[in-house]
Structures are given as structure tokens and as C-alpha cells.
Chain A
Amino acid sequence: MFEKSLQDLVKGIRAHKQDPKPFISQAIAECKIELRNVDAYVKAQAVRKLTYLQMMGYDVSWAAFAIVETMSQARFAHKRIGYLAACQCFSESTDVVLLTTNLLKKEFQSTSQYEVGLAINCLANIVTRDLARDLLQDTVLLMSHSKPYVRKKAVSAMYKLFEKYPQGLRLTFEKLKERLADEPAVTSCAVNVVCELANQNPNNYLSMAPQFFRLLKTSSNNWMLIKVVKLMGSLVPQEPRLARKLLDPLASIIQNTAAKSLQYECIHTLTLALPFTKKADGTEARSAPGVVRLCSDHLRQFIDDADQNLKYLGLVGFVELMKSHPKAVVEHKELVLTCLSDDDVTIRTRALELLTGMVTRKNLEELVAKLLQHVDRAEGSYRDELISRIVFMCSRDKYAFLSDFAWYLSVLVKLAHLRGSRHGALVAEQLVDITMRVKPVRRYAARDMVALLLDDRLAVGQGLDSIADVLAAAAWIAGEYCASLFEEEEEEEEDEDAPDIPQTRLKERLVDILTHPRVTNLPASVQSVYLQNALKVVAVACAEGDDEELEATLALASKRIDVFTQSVHMEVQERASSFVSLLEALGALEKKVEYKAKKRKEDEADEETYVTYAAVVPAARTAARCLAAITADKMVPVNPRAQQRVPVPEGLDLSEPIAPRATLDDFFDKQAEHLVDGLVPRGSGGYASSQNGDDALSRVRFVESGPRFAGPDDDDADADDELGAPPDFDERGDPPPPLAPPVAGRGDDPFYLRETSVDPNEVDVDDVPVVRLTAKDLAQPTGGKKAKKRSTKAAAAKNKARRVQKADVDTSDLMPDGAVESDDNKKKKKRQSTTTTTTTTTTTTRAAPAASSGLAAVDITTPLRDDEVMPTIEHRVTSTKTVVKKNESGLLVNETTVVERRPKASSARDDVAPKNNDRKPPKRTKKKTKSKKAAVLVVEEPPKPAQGNELLLDLLDFGPPPEQQRQSSHASSSAAAAALDAFDGFDLLGGGGGGGGGSSPATPSVPPPLPAAAEDAPNGSEESSSSSSDFARLFERGGLSGSYRVSAAEGATCKIEVRYTNKSTTELFSLLSFALGTKKVAVAASLGAGSSAKACVETEDATPGADLDATVAFYVEGLVPDLVQLPVSIHLRAAAFLVEDPVSPAEFAELLGDADRWRSTSLKLPAWPSPDAVLDVATYLSAHVVERRDGTASMLAASRLDARRKLALLVKPIAAKTAAPNKLKVDIKATDQNLADAVAADLHAFAKRSRGNVPTVPPPQPAADMLL
């Protein structure tokens, strides 16, 4: 009884700090119970608690319905709680939002501005597309409400409505515009809405610019001015004249206002406007330079300010200004650099962004040097940001700002040494990219990478993951460009700045680090790279250098490789094995088996093993030619999109399956050839070979076209000669594969660069050629000029020889021949256009409407079309017409299908079923509709419209139900049969019957528990709460009725069909729901005149004959102020559960013979007007007529509930002395006493109801006729 208040809940949660969960679960369980309470206060408090729990992260979506109910309470204190809960808990997927439409509509009419305000606030928060459409009209009306409080809320809500229902914008914008000339508070809201709208599609609002311009000059409300200025910022990209016009007024505000916020927004909008102030003839607006100065001065003041917020905003402002006037910003470079030392990472990040934009060719190195200093001190994500900014500055626009690649290389090496950040992959990628693209930098790179690999500090300790990427790149560069380490010996000596790497036996040293056992600590992918590159180094060692070194190298490799051949990583193992096998095959290594045998013999002496390797040196020398193939073809950068662009060869249909058989055949046929092919130099086929002429396919094959070398079984080293002159590999990068056409073919290949030098400034950046530097070129220092002074001392000492000019960069990417050109061009064009826009105006891209938003697509500048009208509420509930039609055809069929076991109904009565018709006859005539004759009469009579509510008093009369009759041989039209499938009216707290019981004799029976209430006391609701009497009154006054019936009962499961019918002539905006225990169904949100709505609830623990507690919730606009909830009792007729038991007379006798099983009840029923009342009983109980004696009119019948529970009946009329209605005596035998009692109770009710169908005066037929 004593419910917790919100305060109690909060206290409880605080008292259970350690583990509040059990307490909260308990509280939620309590709330669930309280929500079922009829007391609005208790329910509201429960909703209030749930709102709090929702904030704590608990799901309360199950209470959505209760929230709607609370919203509809009459008392402000309650509805306020409901509205708040709705705002906090409802989402797009909350289905009961649908039910709020009429609630809000009604609330909008409230006389209290605050109630209207609540409703608007709620609408703005929970709005869905349907709500927006249905309430648009109402909200527009509120925009001209008498109270400014309501107007400002309505205006603000409009934006939220437009968001969900963009069509509404065109319909209502004029009204919204009117609000711009209202009280300041309302105007401010209107400006706010237009500002949001203009951000979506500025073009719509250009025409309003003069109006805003006036506001800008006249208003003194800073809040609103800020929004107007923001709005202008959205408009300026669309209209350059506006941009020019704004310069002076905004500048004057900046100079005059004391409010920093307004000042800042003006500066911001000016920076947005400045790019557009150029006149058509290209001249700058007169005041532009002054404005730029003003902005930059003020922004500088902001940055200088002690207030961190202003400092931040100053930086943001500069970022914007930089886009149009970079020069004005670069002046403040030093100031910005000091911001890099700020403690606040937000400020540092902004300063960094600003600096990135300030980069020019001239200051790049200086800026990067400054940033590098900060890198050392930085940590966390800021350091990553710093590093990626450095890389971005250097590499942006294909290295456009970079003038010295060797310097960049040193920067990358420095970054590579950093630990514990996630930049490793980035640095690795850059290293590979520049060495691949910039030929002259390769030898420096190779050198630096060797130094990196030799650096013992790198491969140990924490943060290995990041370093591993770099090490892999380093290994690849060192291996791939190993040969360049040994070119130009003399120049290296000059290079003082070169990293200290061992000059003697470098190859051995390299193989040593690449195959060192500690490499196994690195990730598998890195190990693989190491091994592959170790092989490349061995190849170089075979080709050059002295025998002694070669021997040592081979011995070392042989010894070390064992670890890797046993690696757990498949990839590593495979590389190691092919490493060994390849060298063994070429004779450069001793066969493993022999070697091991030898080793055993020689007592595992390491020294001895070395000696044995002298023998293989000659073989290794010969193998050099073959091995050189490994690195024969140079690597080129491949465009990431290359694979997509491979043209589909003619005649190849990719959608066709490749015949599996053909592939297999092909495989067997080719196999022999593969074996002969043996070793194939890399790149001679394969993807990377771009020099293979024009045949597109030749590029996608991998092995076929390779030259043939000595096979693995061919011990004769001279085998090469038999294959013709061995290829000349002296010049790397130009291996002439025997099968490929000569280099001349390249001229046609768009991805190969022509060998002419072009001024990089004159060509498209994508076409920048590679200047092919030869060794000779490099011998002379590039460019006669002395190297510029460097920012760091170490760099300053750098020799100019280590300078690599920009012109050297190869910015092309490898693309397949015949790549889909059009696509490429398109992309290029797109990119060009975006680059131009980003360099000149970023605002244009900003102004482009976001395609995703429907609101942005709305154009309000064109006049309204005829079909664009304000949406009106469409009833999603079936309307009068359709229902009536359905009654005639569909509905009845539906009902019979639901109630499967029922026989098909004849349609004799259906055409008169006027229950849903608003032209339903007044109740006096209605009484007649229960008999066939009267029915015909009604049809002939012109139906009269209901004359006001008082005529619709038939509270619990739900109209004649669709009558169903048995098609058995005994079937006859029976008034009682009408009651069979009738919907039962709800019994409302015993008082509900009062509303109808007295006024309508056609009222269906009241269930047994409260039989007396039906008879008298029209307003027997003294004990019930006020809300329930409201409900009763609703029934009395309005033509609204509710009814239920049990359909499709089987076992313990039964479906209860609930129907509400609006019998009045007007539409009822109502909220109808029905709850059975915890199961709640919304029946309808509104009901049109004469229409009805149905819903089904299922219950799984039904007991035949029992009563179920349920709740009817109603809210009807104009009739009931509050949402009322009434407990009702649903009587589950035992009869509904019964099914026919087709037994023969003999079986029936046998059944009855077992006397122990049966429990008997007998009852007398007052007869009712019917052609065959006896048969009616059988029909009502779904009993099978076993035997019928017409003489005594007695009948034996059988029925059953299930296999176990059976029912036997003996029905006979009691002879009457008069013509007055007869009595029936029914003997019931059932296997279960409860069943017998329930059936007896049902029969009583049935009789009463059937009797009620009889018009009292005059009786339609003589009673005697009725009997038989």
C-alpha cells in the first residue's frame, strides 16, 4: 500500500551503493504492480520512478503504454510526469507513439498555456513521420496562439516536424516567416529554425536575406544576432553580393560590441564570406583588405588572451581565415608555434592543424623540425596525431612541398625510432613509397635501413608491434636495393652524414642480421620478409665481392636457416625451405643430407663446416646469374585500384562458370610443362611486369612466359648456354626477358614514363615523369647550388650529395593496360574539381546539401502545386463504409474461420446487422431486430440518424451479432441461436450494467459473479472510483460500446476478441485499449462514426467457466477528461470450450452406464421464444443430438470438453398449463462437477439473454408455436 516515492527510490539506491541491482530490480517489480493501480497518483509516481531508472540505464520500454496513460491524466502534476517520461523514454520504435496523436491534438486545445507547452515539448521530442504529418496543421495554428510562450515553442517545434516530414516545409514556411516579426523571444526562435533550415539548403532562404540584414542592423539581442550571423554564414556561399554587403556591417559589430561571443561569430562569418567577395571582374572588394586585417588582429588578440577558450577559438578562426587568406595567417606562425607547447591538447591539435595548412615549399623543413621537437615530448593519441601530421605535411599532394627526399628519409628514420605509438605502419609505408618512387634516394635509403636493422635497440623491448612494420620495410629496402649499397664507393666516403655502417663484409653482416635467431621474436609476416631479402643479399653476394665473403655468407646462411625451416609459421617455413632448396638446386649450398652426414663425420666442428663451403663457391658464382632473376625486375608502385581496372578480355564472360572438367584437363596437360619450367625469374610474367608489350593477358599470367633456366635436376652449370645467351642483368630494372618485346613497347604504355625530362611545374601532377638517373648522373652532384641551410645542426652538416630533388619523384602508379579509361578520367575530373574547391573555397562543399536529408532537398522557392495540401489525419481504423461492407461479406466469413468448429452461418440475418452503422435505428426499434420479421421491417424502414447522444444509451448493447446457425438437419432459425456467437458486453465493476441494464433489454447477460447488478441501479457506481463513473457516463452518453467474445478456445488456450464500436454520428478521438493481466493491446487510436475496431488477446491459462480479470482503458475526447481504466471481468463461457461428441445411441448408453464417473446437476430454465428451444440448448453447448423424441420433445445429447471431460444432457420441456412461456428441464451429467456447474451457469445466462431478445409487447408469435 505504501508505495515508494522517487525520493525513496533515490535514497534506497544510495543506501545500496555496493550493489544496487537487487534493490533496483525490486523497485522495478514494484513499479510494475503500481502501474496496474487504478489510482492515477500511484501510477504517475511509478512512471516518475521509471523515468529516473531510465536515466540510470534501465530499459523501461515495457512501460510505454502506462506513460501514455499518465500523459492523458487530467491533473497537471500527473500529465507533466507522463510527458517528461515520454520525452526521455520514447524512441522511433516505440509503437504506442501512434496513440499520442489525438492526445496531443487535444492538449493543444487546452486553455492553459503550460499544458499546451508540455504537449509541444513532447511532440518535438518524440516526433515521428506520422506524428509530424498528422499534427502539422495543429502546430501551425499554435504558431499564432495568443500567448508568446506557446508561439515560441510551436515555432521551435516546426524544425523537428520538418525533419521528419520534409513535405511540410513548403506548406507552412510562409506562416513560419511571419514569426520573424514577433516578440523578441519568438523571433529569436524563428531565426533559430531558419538558421537550421538554411544549413540544409541555403538557396531557399536567399530571398529572405534583406529581412535578416535588417535584423542584423537593428536588433540588440545578442543571442539572436549570433544566430542571424550564423545564418548569414550559410547564405554567403550562394550569393557573392551578400558576402560583399556583409563586410561593413559585420566589421562594425566587431568593433563596437562588447560581447566576445558575438564578436567571434562575426569574425567567423566574415572568414566564410571573404572567399566570395571577389567581384566578377576579379577585383577584390574595396574593404576586403581592411576586413582581413581586422579579423586577423582580433583573432590574434583571442589567441593572446589568457582565457583558454578564446585562445582555442582564435585558432579555429585562423583555420577558417587561412582558406582564403593564407598570407594573413602565416604572419602569425610564431604565435601559433607557441600554442604547440600549451598543456591543453585541444589547443595543440588546433594549432597543429593550422600549422599543417601553413606549409610551403620554403618553410616545410623548418616546421617539421619544430614538430619533431614536440614529438619527443608528446604522448598518447596526440603524438600519433603529430606524427601523422608530419607525414601528411611532407607527402601531401604527392610530395608537392617536399624539396629534399634525403632529408625526408632522415625524418622518417627518426620517426621509426619512436616507440609505443601506432605510427609504425605509416612510416613503413612512406619509407617503401619514397624508395620505390624516387630512384636517387634508394642508395641512401638502403644505407639508412641497414643502419636501422643493425640497431640492436630497435628489435627488443616494448612497442615491438609498431617497430616490426618499420623493420619489415627496412629489410625489404635493404634487400631489394642491396646492390646499390655497393655502387659509387667513392661518393660514400665523401658523405660525412652517412650512418655508420660496417664497410667490410657488409653482405655477410646483412645476412647475419636478416637471419639472426632473434628475428624469430618478430611477427611471422616480418620474418618472411626478412628471409626473402636475405636471399636477395645472398644473390648479390654471389654476383659480387670476394670469394672469402661469399663463402662465409653461404656458411652462415646455411647454419642459420635451420631455425626457420622449423618455424611454426607456415609462411616462414615455406620461405626458409625454398631458400634452402633454391640454393641447393643451384649448387650454392651443399645438399642437406650430405652436409649433415659430413657434419657428423667431422665431429660437429664449426670451423670445419666453414671449410667445406669453399667447395661450393664456384657453383655459387655460376648460380649468380640465375639468382639475379630474383631481383631482376624493379618494383613499381601499384595503384590501389589497379585490380578493379583490369579490362575483361574479349570473349570472356565472367558470369559463366568455368567448366570444371576443362580446368582439370588443362591442369594435367600443363603439368609437364611446369616441371620443365622450373625456375622462373620474378616479374617476367606476373602482375608487376609492365613491359610485356600490349597483350593485356600476358600481364595476368604468372609463369608461362618465363625464360627457361637450368632445372633443379640439371647439375651441369653450363646448361645456361644451351638456352642461348644468358640475360644481361648488369643494369637492374631493365632485364630483357627473352620472350618479351624490347623496351620500345613502353612508349605506348601510359603507365610507363617517357624518358624525357619535363618541368614539373608545367605538367599535370599525375604525369610527372621520372628522370631516369644513371650512375653517371649521380656521380655529379645534382644541381649546382649549395644546399640550403638546415634547421638542425646535424642537417646543416649534410653534404649536398645527399640531397634529392623533387623532380626525381615517380608519382605514377602501375595500372593495367587498357584500364577502363573513362572511369579513370571521371575520377580524375572529380578529383580535380574537388581539389580546386578545397583550395579556393571549402565553403562550397559545405554548402552542398547533404544528400541524406530529405529536408535539404525541399525547395520552397517554387509555388505550391495543387496536390500539395496540408495533411489531414487519415484514420487508420476501418471506416463506416468498409465495415458495413465487410459485415455483408467478409467479416462474417472471417469470424467463422476463427471459430472453426462452428458450423457455417446462413446469411439470413446478416443483411440487417446494423451494429456498426451510424444510421442505426434508435433503440426502440432495435428491439425488433432480433427476430427475422422485425429485421425485414427495419430494412424497409428508412433508417433514422441517431438523434443525439441521449438516444444512444444502449450501453452494453453491441448490436446484433452475426448470427450463426447450425446446418444440421434440425437447423432452424432461432432467436436463441443469435446469442450463441454474440459478443458479451463488459461488466463494468458491477456498475456498468447499470448504464445499460435498465435502458436496454437487449443487454447481454451479466456474468454470474455479479448477477444482481444487471437488474437495477442504473448508477450503481457509488463504490467505484470517480474515473470509473466517468467511464460509465461515457457509455451512457456516447454511443460507444465495448464487447468481447471468447473465440477459438482450445484446451487452456483461448483467444478473446475485443470489439469497440462507435455508434454515435460523430467521430471519437479516443484511445482504446484492453489489458488482460500483463498483456495489453491497443485497440484503436480513434474511431470514425459507426466504425468499430477489434483486437485479439490470447490467454494461456483459461479455465472454462471461470472469470478473468481484465482492464479496459478509455480516453474519449470531449467526453472523458481523463484516461480511465476499469477493471472488467471476462467470463469464459464453458460452452465456448465444448466440442461436439458424435456418439451413437448405443455408445451413449454405454457411456452413461458407468455411473461412478458422472456428476449430475439439473436445472430448470425459463423458456424463450424460439421455434425449437430444446435444440437451442444443444446448439449452445455444441452437443451432438443422440436421440430426439418429438412426442415428449425430449432430447439426449452429448458433448465433450476434451477426451477426458465429457458432458451428457437430457433436455425436456415441462408441460405448460397455459400458453405462457414454457420451462425447460435440463439434466446435466458431466465427468467433472465444476464443468457441470459452469455449464449450468452458462445455460442460465443463455436463457436470460435469449429471453431478452423477445419483444415484450406484443409477443411476436404465440408461445405454442415457438415450442415445436
Chain B
Amino acid sequence: MIKGIIIVNNNGQARICKFFQSVHEQGYSAEEAQQHVIRKVFQQVAQRPDSFCNYLEGSIAEWGEGTKLIYRHYATLYFVFAVDKLESDLGILDLIQVFVEALDKCFENVCELDLIFHSDKVHYILDEIVMAGMVLETNIVSILQSVNDQNKLHQRSLSKLNEALGVAQKSKPGAIPRPR
């Protein structure tokens, strides 16, 4: 089971986070506890040069014993998966690769800015790969297929909305995100 996925940049700013196993901390709200975990994860991975192995063990107490951080560092971003012992160590590394490739295809040469401005789209892509901590699909073709289909559906439903809203709304700049 995957307990959480965190994408954090070189400065420790979270770009995407998904907590499949919720984290709690006495005296803090769920959001604060999540931020603490993100910070901890960043501190752990950031001090490791790229020459080190991509595994970190038992460093996040909130996710319980036996949680392993498996991460990859691409340019300015760390993709960190927190997993338990039932996930394959090398398999998850491949999965991160698949995820990043899917992002790259969807955003055309993905960069950090894409993740910043379209965090919801990243979530939609991720939802096709991992669902509530269970690996759902690893085949990049299937992943892209469903992501693109949904984007079309998204756009179609919006254009119907545009008709309903009339021209005035349509001309408003930036109001309707243009799917890529």
C-alpha cells in the first residue's frame, strides 16, 4: 500500500501532496500535521545527494513503523512515495518514472511551473495511476488514454456551460482553463 505521495521542490515547497493514510498529530489539525510531514520528508530527502540510494527507512513516525520513503529527484522536484513493505522497492521507482512520463506527455515537456499552476490536473493524472494507495494502472498508454478522454469530457461539459452562460462570460479572460 502506498501511504502518501508528496512532490516537493528543492526549496521544500509542496507542489502536490496526497495522504492516502491520514496523519495525525496531537494538538494539531489535519492540515498542520500534513505540513509537518511534508517538511520532515523534505528535510530527509534534501540532504541526500543524488548519488545516494533512493530509499529512506523509518523516518516518518506519523505513517507508522516500517514505512519507507522511495523517492526520485528530477531537476527541481523530488517525487516522494511513502510505502509499506507490500510494495516492491524497485517497482515503485519504476512507477515514479511512469508517473513522470505521463506528466511529460500531458504537459509537453513538463516543468515545475506546470505543476504549480495545474496542480489539479496533476491530481487527475495521478488518480489514474494510484487510487487511494492502491496501484491502479502501470501501463502508460492506458493512463494517457483515460486522462485524455476525461479532459475531452471536461471540455465538452464546459462548452455546454459556456452556451448557458452566454457570450459575456465566455469573453472573460482566464476564467476557463484551457486544457492542454
Contact = CB atoms under 8 A, between A and B. Distances in A.
A246 interface: no
Contact of B52 (A6, A40, A346): A346
Contacts of A344: 48, 51-53
Contacts of B165: 41
Contact of B22 (A40, A92, A188): A92
Contacts of A226: 88, 91
A80 B1 contact: no
Contact of B20 (A120, A125, A149): A125
Given A5-B175, A125-B20, A226-B88, A114 B131 contact: no
Nearest to A93: B30
Most interface-central of A77, A124, A196 (chain B CB within 10 A): A77
Nearest to A127: B132
Contact of B138 (A6, A56, A223, A311): A223
Interface string B131-159: 11111111100100010011001111110
A59 B31 contact: yes
A260 interface: yes
B53 A309 contact: yes
Interface string A25-41: 00000000000000011
B27 interface: no
B27 to A, nearest CB: 14
B32 interface: yes
A302 B99 CA distance: 26
A114 B137 contact: no
B154 A77 contact: yes
B51 A57 contact: no
A8 interface: yes
Contact of B174 (A5, A121, A159): A5
B180 interface: no
Contacts of B93: 261, 309
A346 B119 CA distance: 32
Contacts of B136: 152-153, 156, 189
A668 interface: no
Contacts of A192: 134-135
Interface string A99-128: 000000000000010100100110011010
Contacts of B34: 57
A343 B48 CA distance: 10
A91 interface: yes
Contacts of B120: 6, 48, 51-52, 81, 84
Given A6-B177, A77-B157, A121-B127, A265 B88 contact: yes
B86 interface: yes
Interface in A1146-1195: none
Interface in A214-232: 223, 226-227, 230
A59 B48 CA distance: 32
B145 to A, nearest CB: 9
Given A91-B30, A230-B88, A124 B132 contact: yes
Nearest to B136: A156
A667 interface: no
A45 B124 CA distance: 16
B158 A75 contact: yes
A78 interface: yes
Most interface-central of A8, A87, A344, A346 (chain B CB within 10 A): A346
Interface in B100-143: 116-117, 119-120, 123-124, 127, 131-139, 142
Contacts of B123: 84, 87-88
Contacts of A1026: 164
B94 A7 contact: no
B94 A261 contact: yes
Contact of A261 (B57, B90, B174): B90
A199 B86 contact: yes
A114 B53 contact: no
A734 B119 CA distance: 77
A157 B134 CA distance: 8
A1120 interface: no
A710 B106 CA distance: 95
Given A112-B153, A152-B136, A192-B135, A313 B18 contact: no
Nearest to B29: A59
Nearest to A189: B136
Interface string B79-99: 000000010111101100000
B122 to A, nearest CB: 11
A1196 B164 CA distance: 58
B132 A125 contact: yes
A977 to B, nearest CB: 47
Contacts of A112: 153
A778 to B, nearest CB: 46
A346 B131 contact: no
B16 interface: yes
A615 interface: no
B57 to A, nearest CB: 7
Contacts of B14: 55-56
Contacts of B135: 192, 223
A313 B89 contact: yes
B160 A57 contact: no
Nearest to B145: A149
A927 B161 CA distance: 43
A76 B153 contact: yes
Most interface-central of A48, A57, A260, A311 (chain B CB within 10 A): A57
Contacts of A265: 88, 91
Nearest to B30: A91
B131 A261 contact: no
B134 A223 contact: no
Given A76-B154, A77-B154, A124-B132, A308 B164 contact: no
Given A125-B20, A156-B134, A80 B154 contact: yes
Contacts of A14: 116
Contacts of B138: 188, 223
Contacts of A149: 146
A52 B94 contact: no
19 contacts: A3-B175, A5-B174, A8-B174, A10-B117, A55-B16, A55-B17, A57-B34, A76-B156, A87-B123, A91-B22, A91-B30, A114-B146, A124-B131, A185-B137, A308-B52, A309-B55, A343-B49, A346-B53, A346-B56
Given A7-B177, A80-B154, 17 more contacts: A7-B117, A10-B116, A54-B31, A75-B158, A75-B160, A76-B150, A76-B153, A121-B131, A121-B132, A153-B136, A157-B131, A199-B86, A230-B86, A261-B90, A312-B53, A347-B52, A1026-B164
Interface of B: 1, 14, 16-18, 20, 22, 29-32, 34-35, 48-49, 51-57, 86, 88-91, 93-94, 116-117, 119-120, 123-124, 127, 131-139, 142, 146, 149-150, 153-158, 160-161, 164-165, 169, 172, 174-175, 177
In order of increasing CB-CB distance, the 8 nearest A-B pairs are A261-B90, A124-B132, A308-B53, A75-B157, A76-B157, A57-B35, A344-B52, A156-B134
